[in-house]
Amino acid sequence: MKGLTSDYQLTLPAMLRRAEALYGPKEIVTRRPDKSFHRYTYADFVRRAKKLAVALGELGLEKSDRVATLAWNNHQHLEAYFGVPCAGLVLHTINPRLSADDLAYIIDHAGDRVLLIDETMVKLLASFRDRVDLDHIYVLSADGSAPEGLESYEELLSGADEERFEYPDFAEDDAAAMCYTSGTTGRPKGALYSHRAICLHSMASAMTDMLGIAERDVVMPIVPMFHVNAWGLPFTSTLVGAKQVLPGPHLDPESLLENLANEKVTITAGVPTIFFGILNKLDENPGAYQLSSLRAMIIGGSAAPEGMIRAFAERHGLHVLHAWGMTETTPLGSVCHVSSQLDDAPEDERYRVRAKQGIPGAFIEVRARGDEGFAAWDGESMGELEVRGPWVSGAYFNTEEGTDKFTEDGWFRTGDIVTIDENGYVEIQDRTKDLIKSGGEWISSVALENSLMSHDAVAEAAVIAVPEEQWGERPLGVVVLKEGAETTEEDLISHLAAHHPKWSLPDAIEFVDEIPHTATGKALKMALRERYKDYTPAER
């Protein structure tokens, strides 16, 4: 027998309708490129999201066609978050920090038809525009203008009549948004989120034991809206009607601290590198910023070090909430609150727990697959973390690559090596992915190795992550030269600079006689990581 509950579909139009009905006067604030503030209300936001949906509907696109964005966190990007899916199209957020090759590949592979691009990113276009086939490129600018040859987003909106918008009835499993992961060995792969996944992710994120976001909150996502939907915060905030503060392109500690203080932000979120900068600034000027409203700084994307969690608490009375997630998990998987079982634990123990990646969110299930079956939940046995749940990907978009990430019984293999303790706290120990995470952005070690090995003097190269305080990890090149060949660190790094973004270049190259190998002849990265774990270039 089926239940007789109505089959109300969980969709973004329903979320927008709720915001329109209930939160009209609430504020949304954006820091513009010139640092001035743009302020409007949810009512304005809904009106403009509807206009966008109407305008996109008149472009002759087909259902589920992709509309890409290359933009910072601002109100126009937020309009796209809703206007695109409410037009029956798929919002495809793209990371502007990728190389031109990856940008061209992703836009082409996703089949993007329209691109909305931030005025501050227009210069990127030159590097890939002739390699992609887009029907329209609209520029999101503060004054509504667009450079020659491009169309204006503001003009697109001004030509649309929001009265023509009708809330559509989509199936909740229709695609709403997509985001590409960084390639490990292969190309980037697309995670495609359904309306239902985003709605459930938003509801669960708002739970007290997850991010605990409510109408009274003032939420400032520092994590870019091109990183897995800014961890879903624009959706979650809109669902509950929280005031939103969007920092635009200004991610320097001073601007962020000004926003936190002036807008009385209660919840903010970003990668450890950002908070490292904020911590330094606060240490330099204790008491300079009035942060008494701030009740949680959600840190994720890379491990939040225990020292940082302590420093914020002890020196500034600020609370870090450590969270773990992935592009394939929309992204929130686990959040680290100290549970009541630990009420009597000593303070040191509580800090140690808070540096773990936390307990899985509601309906997210975890298990760790070890060499001999699933690892016990004893806080010591290690295995690769597998997850399943209503907002975990079941496949990648339009590719056979990566199908081995999805198990036959419906779990996703994360590539994170973890322990799980008796209370269900997950702690990441290592990573199977051949990637380096620097300041929240991935660097492909394989791509750097291939480029190094294309240099005449190089016989073999391995690139590994070495821990670094500010960036979390930085790439180190380990190189074996061909017999009799000579080259320098500077030469190899400038060789790499021809094909890789500057921020992704190794800080140093170590020349060695031999690189250790696994039985199958691959570089034994684990051994190299161990050898260089305390490495700093200055020590050479």
Least separation in angstroms between residue 358's CB and ligand ADP is 8
| Three-class SS state of 417 | strand
Instruction: Supply φ then ψ for residue 517, to 5 degrees.
Output: -125, 155
In this chain, which of 227, 243, 495, 525 binds ligand ADP, going by CB under 6 A?
A: 227
Catalytic residue among 263, 328, 386, 449: 328
Decide: is 180 part of the binding site for ligand ADP (CB under 6 A). Answer: no
In this chain, which of 57, 188, 212, 300 binds ligand ADP, going by CB under 6 A?
A: 300
Least separation in angstroms between residue 463's CB and ligand ADP is 17
Question: 160 or 228, CB closer to ligand ADP?
Answer: 228
Residue 442 annotated in active site? yes
Least separation in angstroms between residue 336's CB and ligand ADP is 8
Question: 132 or 428, CB closer to ligand ADP?
Answer: 428
Residue 166 annotated in active site? no
Helix axes 42-57, 12-22, angle to 10 degrees: 140
| Exposure string for 409-445, b = 16+ CB within 10 A, e = fewer | eebbbbbbbbbbbeeebbbbeebebbbbbbbbbbbbb
On whether the CB atoms of residues 487 and 481 are closer than 8 A, the answer is: yes
Q: Is the dihedral of CA 329, 331, 337, 340 positive or negative?
A: negative
| Three-class SS state of 477 | strand
Query: What counts of helices (H) and strands (E) characterise the chain?
Result: 15, 26
Closest CA to 424 of 381, 370, 354, 377: 377
Least separation in angstroms between residue 162's CB and ligand ADP is 33
Question: Which residues in 305-344 contact ligand ADP (CB under 6 A)?
Answer: 322-327, 331
Decide: is 276 part of the binding site for ligand ADP (CB under 6 A). Answer: no
How many CA atoms does the CB half-sphere of 528 hold within 13 Å?
24
Least separation in angstroms between residue 465's CB and ligand ADP is 11
Residue 403 annotated in active site? no
Question: 244 or 414, CB closer to ligand ADP?
Answer: 414
Question: 243 or 322, CB closer to ligand ADP?
Answer: 322
Q: β-pairing, 267-270 with 218-221?
A: parallel
On whether the CB atoms of residues 267 and 213 are closer than 8 A, the answer is: yes
480 burial via Cβ count (<10 Å: 0-12, 13-18, 19+): middle
Question: 289 or 391, CB closer to ligand ADP?
Answer: 391
Amino acid at 528: L
Question: 175 or 326, CB closer to ligand ADP?
Answer: 326
Decide: is 427 part of the binding site for ligand ADP (CB under 6 A). Answer: no
Question: x/- binding map, residues 345-384, to ligand ADP, per CB under 6 A?
Answer: ------------x---------------------------
Residues touching ligand ADP, count (CB under 6 A) = 23
Question: 36 or 407, CB closer to ligand ADP?
Answer: 407
Decide: is 428 part of the binding site for ligand ADP (CB under 6 A). Answer: yes
| Exposure string for 14-27, b = 16+ CB within 10 A, e = fewer | bbbeebbeebeebb
* 454 Cβ contact list (under 8 Å, min separation 6): 495
Least separation in angstroms between residue 335's CB and ligand ADP is 9
Decide: is 31 part of the binding site for ligand ADP (CB under 6 A). Answer: no
Catalytic residue among 11, 120, 181, 238: 181
Least separation in angstroms between residue 269's CB and ligand ADP is 10
In this chain, which of 431, 474, 495, 525 binds ligand ADP, going by CB under 6 A?
A: 431
Residue 328 annotated in active site? yes
Residue with tokens 């304005």: 44
On whether the CB atoms of residues 79 and 52 are closer than 8 A, the answer is: yes
Rounded-to-integer distance, Cα 86 and Cα 57, Å = 10
Catalytic residues: 181, 328, 437, 442
Applying CB under 6 A, which residues contact ligand ADP?
181-182, 227-228, 300-303, 322-327, 331, 357, 414-416, 428, 431, 440, 442
